[in-house]
Amino acid sequence: MEYVKYFRTKDQYEIYTLIAANHTIDGYELQGASVYFIFEEREACEQTLRSLLSKKLKVYAHDMIQGMTMAQGVFRKETWLKDR
């Protein structure tokens, strides 16, 4: 059985970027006041973020906006659930 390495982050810009680059979300975790997104394929996520930092990553603006919209919906939902 192969161990799957996940990438876990609460950084909003990393989350938006990974969603825009079509990485698969495995789930979410609420930890204190923070919402962590968990993505599959850690090495691929890290490569995408390295490309972002070196200014070599190309994603469509539309995909980035969709990523932001989806992530903000999760942030609002998880915060609302925490406050209940």
At residue 40, the pLDDT reads 95
- Give 21-68 pLDDT, tens digit per residue: 999 999 999 888 788 999 999 999 999 999 999 999 998 999 999 989
Provide the residue type at 41 as one letter. E
Tokens of 16: 């938006």
| 53-62 contacts at long range (C-beta below 8 A, 24 or more positions apart) | 57/17, 57/21, 59/17, 59/20, 59/21, 60/20
Domain ranges of the chain: 7-83
Phi/psi of residue 27, each to 5°? 170, -170
pTM, two decimal places: 0.83
